[in-house]
Amino acid sequence: MRIIDKTPKVSRRNFLAGGGAAAALVISGSAVMCPVEAWGLDVKVLKPETMRTLIKLARDIYPHDRLGDRFYAIAMKGYDETGQKADAEAFVAKLDAKAKAVNGAAYANHPWEATRSELLRELQGDAFFQKVRGGLVTGLYNQPEIWPLFGYEGESAAKGGYINRGFGNIDWL
């Protein structure tokens, strides 16, 4: 059957570009940088550390190892706004306080997802957590750039539908 190439392609955006798997995010001045993916996100209102944590938070809520951090960064950059600042900073402070109580490390610096998930589970009733989770449903999954990475082909009518493109070509049954 006709299958979809799920390898990430290098895409270019004005502030985000590059390809490859998730990699460490570093803070440089007012920016969150991803050297491996070769992108940087200039943070205007939030502390850059807060944005870095929010990107980690987004990945921990909907962890997809096939998605680079840039997709999570796109989904979260809307929180870098005056109207969101107080809630975002407060939530991250709460999260870091809980994380530091475990072994002194901030949330984003706990290496195991399982540890971070446990911390998140304690905060999942928090309104900001729910806002982030709900927002990611469209903020992450409605980015057409990620669709092919999951083998979803999106728009089809302009391509003539699937009548000649494998609507019924399953070959393993």
Partner 1 sequence: MVAKFELNNEGVVVIIGSGASGGTLGTDLALAGIDTVILEAGPRVEIEDFVNDEWKSFSQIAWLDQRTTSGNWRVHKDFAGLPAWIVRAVGGTTIHWAGASLRFQDYEFKAKTHYGDVKGANLLDWPITLTEMEPWYDKAEDRMGVTRTNGIEGLPGNNNFKVLKAGADKLGYKECHTGRMAINSAPRHGRGGCQQIGFCFQGCKSGAKWSTLYAEIPKGEDSGHLEVRPNCHVMKIEHDDKGKVTAVVYADKDGKEQRQKARVVCVAGNSIESPRLLLNSASKLFPNGLANSSGMVGKNYMRHMTGSVYAIFEKPVHMYRGTTMAGIIRDEARHDPSRGFVGGYELETLSLGLPFMAAFLNPGGWGREFTSALDNYDKMAGLWIVGEDMPQEQNGVTLHKEVKDKNGLPVPNVHFDDHPNDIAMRTHAYKQGTALYESVGATAIYPTPPYPSTHNLGTNRMSEKPKDGVVNKWGQTHDIKNLFIADGSQFTTGGAENPTLTIVALATRQADTIRNMMSKGEL
Residues that bind partner 1 (CB under 8 A): 1, 3-4, 6, 60-64, 66, 113, 117, 124, 133, 137-138, 140-142, 146-147, 150-158, 160-163, 165-170, 172-173
Beta strands (DSSP E) in the chain are 11-12, 17-18, 26-28, 31-34, 39-42
- Is the Cβ of residue 20 or residue 49 nearer to partner 1 in the bound state? 20
Say how many C-beta atoms besides its own lie within 10 A of residue 5's C-beta: 9
Length of the chain: 173
Choose between 104 and 144: whose C-beta lies nearer to partner 1.
Answer: 144
Closer to partner 1 by Cβ: residue 28 or 138 = 138
3-class DSSP assignment, residue 34: strand
Nearer to partner 1, 78 or 151 (CB): 151
Q: What is the maximum span of the chain, computed from C-alpha positions, in angstroms?
A: 59
We find the least distance from the C-beta atom of residue 47 to partner 1, in angstroms, to be 25
The first and second tokens of residue 154, run together, are 């999106």
Find the shortest distance in angstroms from Cβ 4 to partner 1.
6
